[in-house]
Structure 1
Amino acid sequence: MHYIRFCRPPEVQAGRSQASVKIVLTITTDLSDAFLSPRNPVPLAVIGAYTERGPGGDGADRLIPAPLTAAGSPPTWRAGMRVLKLDLPLPPLPRPLETLQIRPLSRQLAALATSDVLPGDRGLIMPVYADMPREPGAVGPSVCFRSLRLSAGDGRGGAGAAAAAAAVPPLQIEEDLGESIARHIWDSGVVMVSMLADLCSVGSPAGGGGPLPRLRSILLQQLHRPLNILELGCGVGVLGIGLARILSLAQQAEAGAKEPPHILMTDLPEAEGKARANIARQAGSFEVAPADLDFEPLDWQDGQHGKFGGKAGSRAWDLVVLCDCTYNTDTLPPLVKTLSALHGHTARLGSSAAEAPTKTEVLVATKPRHSSERIFFDLMSADGWVVREQTVLPLPLLDAEGQTVEVYLFGK
């Protein structure tokens, strides 16, 4: 995919007749290693939004969109560009703008929902959002966020499904501005959340007819008993948080127990700030009881020896998930040993508690970037792991050679 990125925070400046907002953006791949070079120019829409303290019957606040660019003369990204600088006048509004969205003008190109991403032939460019500075001359926050509407749970069909989907708060994930690869969303996370949203949807096949039926069965166990999921290398948290939201939607759509899943995201200590900021962003977004969603630092150098923090060590884990964690081959031996240590830890807890799970399965998503990553599968096999299920998902990519995300479910 390609991602619209702010190169620096949007800035509001006062003018003689009206204020304006200055924006510097780029469009790159997830690792910022290539700029978008489209065969045809890509017009962009820049849309602000403010909250209307409306007098509606329900008394609820409403977010009102305010387009800042005219459809007839939109700013446009062309092949050969590295940055695009905009200075857009702010129209008179009853309240200051609170957020800013930049997306492709063509709905076909914009990844606005998980259902855009999976087909692989649309949702090619990820829009970007930012909170706006309130005063002229002020600079906005040094973070932006991504937003995806979730399709899980809206498989009921018809107008009711569309209305229900529109009422579901989108998944919002904060990331840093700029083009660094740290503290950013990567391709596999977006594709995995999109696949899981479809897999856990009411309308997806109950068994055998869809991809990864065993994985679907594991995930939907949470309708009948608590489900414990641990994520390794969570980064900004798109997979763990997205999975929490998706399972909440599945609970809403199905009759059954409403015990929320427990999801523990782990990574190196420097990832904690962004992961916790994104956990906090989910306040009020869960459709039923919020998932027990938490973070704990976990270094694989410790994990390979079975050294876990109090949170990781206190539970037996049904499922360990990770995405885009196999690109650095130096970390693969401790990663595999950490997975095996978690499996052994779960087995030990299971032997002393009749209701605890006795086996841990592992869900891995990877976008192959170089051939040396294949050693991961050799290491997993040598440690007794076998592939239970697998699938290959197309990665949306505009005017470039097709790429894929590979998904594997391992067990012992």
Structure 2
Amino acid sequence: MHYIKLLRPPEVEEGRAKGSRQPSLKIVLAITTDLGDAYLSPRDPIPLSVIGAYVEKKDGRERLVPVSLPLILPHGTISQDAPKWQAGMRVLKFSVALPLQPLKTVQIRPFSPQLTALSTGDICAAKQGLIMAAYSDVTQPGGLLAPSVCFRSLRLPVAGQLLQFEEDIGDSIARHIWDGGVVTVSLLADMCLESSGRTGRNILPAVRSILTDSSQGPLNILEIGCGIGVLGIGLARTLSLRHNAGTTRVLMTDLPEAEEKARANIARQIGAQGAGLVDLDFEPLDWEDGKNGVFGEKVQSRSWNLVVVSDCTYNTDTLLPLVKTFSAIRRHSASQSLGDNRPVETKIFLATKPRHSSERAFFKLMSDDGWITKEQAALPLPMLDGEQQSVELYLFEKMQS
């Protein structure tokens, strides 16, 4: 999959359109892979759409009204031609004319819906490579500082429900959305929501049973290495739209520097349908502490049915602490539930998009530590250029001694 990445905040410029006093919006972007390590090189140029949204008040209520923004050519005239991304590009700069109404947000996406990742269903059923749109708030001249973040949006398989995440503007790999989390969340939405298709139900029945079987009692889910929060928040939002979500808890963990962005994305869920039905929180966790069973208060407060992790096996230096942290969490959960009618048997759900053969060392470390694969699958990830990729999914359980 590829992503439209804003390289700087959209900038409002006064009076750029010829014969008009209306301001324009300058946009600088690239279309790259999730890590920004390769630029999209399409066979044919890909036209882009720029769609703004302004706030309209009616009957005491506010709603966002979309409006298409026309391109401004270098000599200042307005054209209906779309800006185009083509092979060999590293950056695309252009300006679009702004409407009379002050815009609240702007969306930049492929002109063709068939090339755009608009919903979780699009990603699960993709027959070709897709591009994910970028959204940004628009700061009017004389207003606050330009936004340092943009956000992504995907429709869930429930009418009117969106999943949104913010990430930093720029082309670094930190504080950004990654393929593994996006694909896995899309699959979980497909598998858990009644109105969805059957992809997840077919390929990962044991995972689906863990997430949807309310007869097993309260469900506690711990995410390791959450990054900006795509997997944990997406899972929480998906489960919140189910009728039995009231007992679900999702705790995301990562290094302290991840907390600001993770909490910002947790805050974005406030007010969404069902958001209050799942207890969603964050706590710092360093695997160097975790491997020795040293956890924060929130991790220690309960036993964990499922540990989820996405895109965390790329760094071979951290694989052993990661595996040892899994085992320490399992021991903690077993001790917490000692004496219960149904003692907790912690399972690990891992999603990874393999990027290098060295990552396979993870599976040997898991085996050496007594973990066995209960279920596995691979979800294709078509690309608009280059070889098709995939996201691999594994459910592990501890070998009984």
1:233 aligns with one of 211, 221, 225: 225
Q: Return closer, same or farther for 1:133/1:203 CA change in 2, 3 Å cut-off.
A: closer
Alignment of 1:76-155 (within 5 A): 76-93=84-101, 96-122=102-128, 124-135=130-141, 140-151=146-157, 154=158
Q: Return closer, same or farther for 1:206/1:78 CA change in 2, 3 Å cut-off.
A: closer
Q: Is the 8 A contact 1:47 1:69 kept in 2?
A: no
Q: Is the 8 A contact 1:225 1:259 kept in 2?
A: no
Partner Cα distance (1:2, 1:207) in 2? 22
Equivalent residue letter for 1:73: D
Q: Return closer, same or farther for 1:68/1:261 CA change in 2, 3 Å cut-off.
A: same
Equivalent residue letter for 1:108: Q
Task: Note the C-alpha offset of 1:135.
Answer: 2.3
Equivalent position SS for 1:98: strand
Q: Report whether the alignment pairs 1:52 with 2:56.
A: yes
Equivalent position SS for 1:80: coil
Equivalent position SS for 1:52: strand
Task: Note the C-alpha offset of 1:286.
Answer: 3.1
Q: Return closer, same or farther for 1:325/1:209 CA change in 2, 3 Å cut-off.
A: closer
Partner Cα distance (1:240, 1:146) in 2? 16
Partner Cα distance (1:112, 1:84) in 2? 22
2:38 aligns with one of 34, 37, 54: 34
Report the counterpart of residue 2 of structure 1 in structure 2.
Answer: 2
Equivalent residue letter for 1:267: D
Q: Report whether the alignment pairs 1:247 with 2:239.
A: yes
Q: Return closer, same or farther for 1:259/1:287 CA change in 2, 3 Å cut-off.
A: closer
Partner Cα distance (2:144, 2:259) in 1? 28
Relative to structure 2, which stretch is displaced further, 123-132 or 222-231?
222-231
Report the counterpart of residue 180 of structure 2 in structure 1.
Answer: 188
Q: Return closer, same or farther for 1:51/1:296 CA change in 2, 3 Å cut-off.
A: same
Q: Return closer, same or farther for 1:209/1:295 CA change in 2, 3 Å cut-off.
A: closer
Equivalent position SS for 2:380: strand
Q: Is the 8 A contact 1:117 1:396 kept in 2?
A: no
Deviations, residues 301-357 of structure 1 (Å, cap 9, x unaligned): 0000000000001110000000000000000000000000001111111114445x4
1:410 aligns with one of 381, 396, 401: 396
Structure 1 gap segments, 5+ residues each: 155-164, 252-256
Equivalent position SS for 1:189: helix
2:283 aligns with one of 284, 289, 296: 296
Task: Note the C-alpha offset of 1:290.
Answer: 3.1
Report the counterpart of residue 63 of structure 1 in structure 2.
Answer: 64
For normalisation by structure 2, the TM-score amounts to 0.92
Q: CA RMSD in A?
A: 2.0
Task: Note the C-alpha offset of 1:62.
Answer: 1.2
Moved over 3 A (4+): 136-139, 203-209, 352-355
Task: Note the C-alpha offset of 1:133.
Answer: 0.2
Alignment of 1:392-403 (within 5 A): 392-403=378-389
Q: Return closer, same or farther for 1:247/1:223 CA change in 2, 3 Å cut-off.
A: farther
Partner Cα distance (1:207, 1:78) in 2? 33
Alignment of 1:283-362 (within 5 A): 283-287=270-274, 289-354=276-341, 357-362=343-348
Equivalent position SS for 2:232: helix
Partner Cα distance (1:322, 1:271) in 2? 15
Q: Is the 8 A contact 2:27 2:94 kept in 1?
A: yes
Partner Cα distance (1:228, 1:66) in 2? 43
Partner Cα distance (2:143, 2:382) in 1? 38
Equivalent residue letter for 1:197: A
Partner Cα distance (2:201, 2:134) in 1? 35
Equivalent residue letter for 2:292: H
Equivalent position SS for 1:270: helix
Deviations, residues 345-402 of structure 1 (Å, cap 9, x unaligned): 11111114445x4210000000010101000000000011000000000113112210
Equivalent position SS for 1:173: strand
Equivalent residue letter for 1:30: D
Q: Is the 8 A contact 1:31 1:181 kept in 2?
A: yes
Equivalent position SS for 1:140: coil
Task: Note the C-alpha offset of 1:203.
Answer: 4.8
Name the structure where strand makes up a greater proportion of residues. 2
Q: Is the 8 A contact 2:49 2:83 kept in 1?
A: yes
Partner Cα distance (2:255, 2:361) in 1? 23
Structure 2 gap segments, 5+ residues each: 72-78
Q: Is the 8 A contact 2:190 2:199 kept in 1?
A: no
Relative to structure 2, which stretch is displaced further, 287-296 or 193-202?
287-296
Q: Report whether the alignment pairs 1:20 with 2:24.
A: yes
Partner Cα distance (1:386, 1:283) in 2? 38
Report the counterpart of residue 75 of structure 2 in structure 1.
Answer: none
Equivalent residue letter for 1:335: L
Equivalent residue letter for 1:171: L
Task: Note the C-alpha offset of 1:405.
Answer: 0.4
% of aligned pairs identical?
Answer: 59
Equivalent position SS for 1:259: helix
